[in-house]
Amino acid sequence: MNNEAEVANYVERYVRSGFYTATEIQHIVGRDIYDGRLSARSLRTLITQALTQQRAEEASWPKRTDCDRLDTAFAALEAQGIIALHNAGNTQSDGLSDASEHYHEAGGAASGYTGYCFYHWQDVQSVLERGKLYLAFGAIDGDDTSGVAVGRCIKAVLEATGFKVEWNGSIKTRLCVTGLRWQRRARRRR
C-alpha cells in the first residue's frame, strides 16, 4: 500500500499546507504515517522534489495571498479578544484542546479572551482539495448566545479582509470561507 505515488501524495499535502519544514514532513510521513517502513533516502527525494516544485510555483503567486490575508484576519481577531489558531491539531477535539491550552497559557480570565476560532489539519486538507475552509468557533465560557456573537465577529472580520463566508448564524454550524485559494509559502528551516 505504500507505493511511491501514495507517499508522494502525502508529501505534497504537507508541503502545500505551508506549515511544515522538510524535517517535520520527513518525521510525519516517515514515522507517524508509515511507521518507519519507508526508505529515508527515497522519502527525502520526494520531499525535495515537492518543495522545489512548491517554491517554483511561489514565484508566480501574488505578493499578498489569501493565506496572508487569513493571517491578517486572525491577527485582527486576536486583537479583539478571540483566540485564532491555524492548523490546530487533527480534529475539532484537538483544536478545542489547543484553544483551551492557549487560553490558560495566556493567563485564563486575565487574558481578556472571550472567544476562540480555529481550523485543524482535516480542514487544511479540505481547503487544499475544495477551496473551502471550515472554522470552528465559540465563546470561552461555553454560552451559546455569546458563541453566536463570536461567530458574527469572526464573519465580519473575515469579510472585511475580503473573504466570502457562508454561515447560517447557528452555534452548531461552522463558518465556511469559500473560494479560498490556498497559497501558504513553504516553511524554511529555522
Same domain, 30 and 104: no
Domain contains 184? no
Same domain, 162 and 70: yes
Domain span including residue 140: 66-178
Same domain, 52 and 111: no
Same domain, 91 and 33: no
**DSSP SS3 for 177:** strand
16-55 pLDDT, tens digit each: 999 999 999 988 888 767 776 778 888 899 999 999 999 9
The pLDDT of residue 35: 73
The structure's pTM equals: 0.91
For residue 134, the cross-strand partners are 176
Sign for the pseudo-dihedral over CA of 42, 48, 52, 55? positive
The pLDDT of residue 190: 46
| 8 Å CB contact between 87 and 122 | no
Percent of the chain with pLDDT over 70: 96
78-115 pLDDT, tens digit each: 999 999 999 999 999 999 999 999 999 999 999 999 99
Give the C-alpha distances (Å, rounded to integers) separating 179 from 46, 67, 81, 118. Answer: 29, 12, 27, 18
Same domain, 83 and 53: no
